[in-house]
Amino acid sequence: MLWNAVVKLEHPEAIQPVKLIGLWVALGALAAKELLFRYMLAVAERVRSSMLVANAWHARSDAASSLVVALGIVGNVFGYRLLDPVAALIVGLMVTRMGWHFGWEALHDLMDRAVDQETVEAIHQTMLETPGVHGVHDVKTRRMGDMILVDVHLEVDARANVRQGHDIALEARRRVMLRRDVLNVMTHVDPVEAPT
C-alpha cells in the first residue's frame, strides 16, 4: 500500500478516477467498524482480555482508515486526484504504527514486566489497611498476560501465634485479590514488635 501510494505520487497521471459508490462503501465501513470497536472494547474490558482490546483497536484503526479513504475519494471525485494516494499513504502509516504499538506491548507482556508505580502503591495501601498488618515491604509485582502476580512481606505482631499470622495474611491476600486484575498474591509473614 505504501509503495503504491509513493508510485502514484511520483506519477499522478496514473491515478484513476474513483466512482462515488466508493465513498458510500467507505462511509458504511466507517460506521460498521466504529460500532464493532465499541462492542469489542466493552467485551474486552468485561473479560479482561488484552487480545480483545487489541482486536477492538484494530477495528478502530479500520474505522479511521475508512475515514481517510473517504476523504481521499471525495478529493478524487472533485478533481483533486492526488488526495487518493495521500490518503493511502496515511492509512499505510497508521497501520504500521498500530502494528508496532501492539507488537511492543505484546513483547513487554511476554517479558514479565512490573506494573506501574501507582498500582504497586494501591496494592501496598490495601495490604497496610488490613487489620493486624503493622507494615508492608518488598512488594514485587509482575504481569502474566493481563493479570498481576504479587509477592509481598507483611509485618505482624511477633506475639501472634502461627494461626493468627496466617489468618492476617489470608485476609490481606483476599483484599488484594478483590482487584479484577490480580491473579495471585504470595505473602511472607515477618514478626515485628507491635507498638503497645
What is the DSSP-derived secondary structure letter of residue 160? Answer: S
pTM over 0.85: no
Confidence of residue 109 (pLDDT cuts 50, 70, 90): low
Confidence of residue 100 (pLDDT cuts 50, 70, 90): confident
- Report how far residue 32's alpha carbon sits from residue 71's, in angstroms, rounded to the nearest whole number: 17
Residue 33: how many other CB atoms lie within 10 Å? 20
Length of the chain counted residue by residue: 196
DSSP string computed for 46-62: HHT-HHHHHHHHHHHHH
- Report how far residue 165's alpha carbon sits from residue 106's, in angstroms, rounded to the nearest whole number: 39
pLDDT confidence of residue 90: 85
- Give exposure, 71-106, as e/b (b: 16+ Cβ within 10 Å): bbbbbbbeeebebbbbbbbbbbeebeebeeebeeee
Q: What share of the chain in percent tops pLDDT 70? A: 96
AA identity, residue 153: H
CB 166 within 8 A of CB 189: yes
pLDDT tens-digit map of 44-91: 888 877 778 878 887 888 888 888 888 888 888 888 888 877 888 888
